[in-house]
Amino acid sequence: MQISRRFLHTTRLLHAVAPEFRENFQLPAQYDYRQWFPMHMSVQLKKMEAKLRSVDLVIEVHDARIPVTGRNEQFFRHLYAIRPHILVLNKCDLIDMKKYKQKIEDYYYDMGIEKVLFTDCKKRLPRALNDVKTSMLHALESSKRFNRTVKTEYQSMVVGIPNVGKSSLINAIRTHTLGIKRKAVEAGARPGVTVRVQNRVRIMDKPPIYIIDTPGVLSPNSRNVSDAMKLALCDLVLESHVNLYYLADFLLFSLNRTEDFTYLKLLGIEEMRKEPSDDIQEILALTCAANDYRINASMGERWDFDRAAKYFIQLYRNSKFHDSCLDQDFFLYRN
């Protein structure tokens, strides 16, 4: 009961007015998020380059929740700058397409990207997959084939950062075009399932088209804290590399900036905290109390802050908030 008294004392001291929210998000100086780029990624990137001689088309897959953030600029310099390129934004069911689709397309078409597509490979909607198929055929049949003109078959390569759905896209297209439901490549709900450049997979018969799956490769040059936190929040880096407390704090920062205060209700703390807070420690303590998240340790009972942080983060990943697009500030002032 000692914890409960201390908690009740804390709630009496809560301010009745909303705080002034942070304008910038910062991590402690000693926390090095730049270690998220494993050495095997640079090795696999070189292997992708070596495959380019036999590749006619590069398909880049990215997460629609961060349509701008996190794209690996090395792909442009090393891969699709010299081959036809299609950008596929997967997991589009997690954003408001009516709000963002046109703005995202305008942004990339202004940059010179010829084709931007949106997919959700879990639902495997036929219309979206047919758009991918049609776009691939157009790009392949209208582009020069360099030293491969004698070949009657086409070969494409799918690239992207980890866990954006590259393997799922391959399986979905193969099922859509060939009717084969068995997985051709292994796909998983965590980053790093594909760790090396794979053998090619046949995805179409007329004309014969093969595709090569590749491992996710993060940009090694990222020095932006906000971008790194967006990647982690979308589960695009290994969770073992991420401090959940800081990630939950970034989510709170993002929600407050966009004035989405539904976290009070979703966390079950709206009766304890009537106004939004910019203090993640307070939010997690209230969440523990509301949901009875406790740890029995040798030193006595204490709140389970890790469990509360995971619950908060999972609400975002399950698309429970009003807007799951983390790049919404970027598009806010675009016409």
Per the listing, tokens 């776009």 go with: 135
Is 324 annotated as contributing to ligand binding?
Answer: no
Q: Which residues of 294-321 are buried (b: 16+ CB within 10 A; e: fewer)?
A: eeeeeeeeebbbebbbbbbbebbeeeeb
Look up residue 164 and give its two tokens: 């954006």
CA distance linking residue 194 with residue 63, whole number of Å:
17
- Is 167 annotated in a binding site? The answer is yes
SS3 120: coil
Question: What sign results for the dihedral spanned by CA atoms 222, 228, 234, 240?
Answer: positive
Would the annotation count 166 as a binding residue? yes
Residue 209: φ, ψ to 5°: -125, 130
Contact call for residues 60 and 85 (beta carbons, < 8 A): yes
Is 165 known to sit in a ligand binding site? yes
51 is in an annotated binding site: no
Q: Is 168 annotated as a binding residue?
A: yes
10 Å CB burial of residue 77 (0-12, 13-18, 19+) is exposed
Q: Is 88 annotated as a binding residue?
A: no
Q: Which residues are part of a known binding site?
A: 90-93, 163-168, 216
Q: Which residues are part of a known binding site for GTP?
A: 90-93, 163-168, 216
